[in-house]
Amino acid sequence: MMTAANPWAGAAMIAAVVLSSTAGEVLTAAAMKSVGDLDEIRARSGLKGAIRAVITCPLFFAGVFFLALAFFSLLFALNHLNLSLVGPAAASLTVITNSIAAKLFLKENVDRRRWTAAALICIGVYLLAH
């Protein structure tokens, strides 16, 4: 395991998981906002219409690309680091980076309520992993 020998490499692996996951989540969210309410599209044009609306959106594929990158980064990290380190670190940091990215790129109103929830989730995930 690399944690003790080279902490910077470990941090870089966790950062890769967190950043690619955040990029994937934000791009997917942006794609779905540009597509519109899927329930309404399904009511209007059926399931095929809803699937067509999603798969004709280039942002969706960009999101899926980064989510796949996050998955393989996670596999790579798990190959070098302990699950008990990677799991909670990636899960809790992703909540924070997603909140920041949602505010910056999706212009979501991340108010005090949502920041508090993000912090509580971080601590909660940490406690569940220990």
Contact set with other proteins (CB under 8 A):
25-26, 28-29, 32-33, 35-39, 54, 91, 95, 98-99, 102-103, 106-111, 113-114, 116-118, 120-121, 123-128, 130
Number of Cα atoms under 13 Å in the Cβ half of residue 52: 8
- Minimum CB separation of residue 24 from other proteins in Å reads 11
Please check whether residue 38 is in contact with residue 113, taking contact to mean a CB–CB distance below 8 angstroms. Answer: no
Listed residue (60, 94, 59) closest to 74, CA to CA: 94
Judged by beta carbon, residue 81 or residue 125, the one nearer other proteins is 125
The residue (of 9 and 108) whose beta carbon lies closer to other proteins is 108
Nearest to 97 by CA among 24, 7, 11, 9: 24
- Nearest-10 crossing angle of helices 83-104, 112-128: 170
Closest distance of CB 81 from other proteins, Å: 19
| Closest separation in Å from C-beta 125 to other proteins | 6
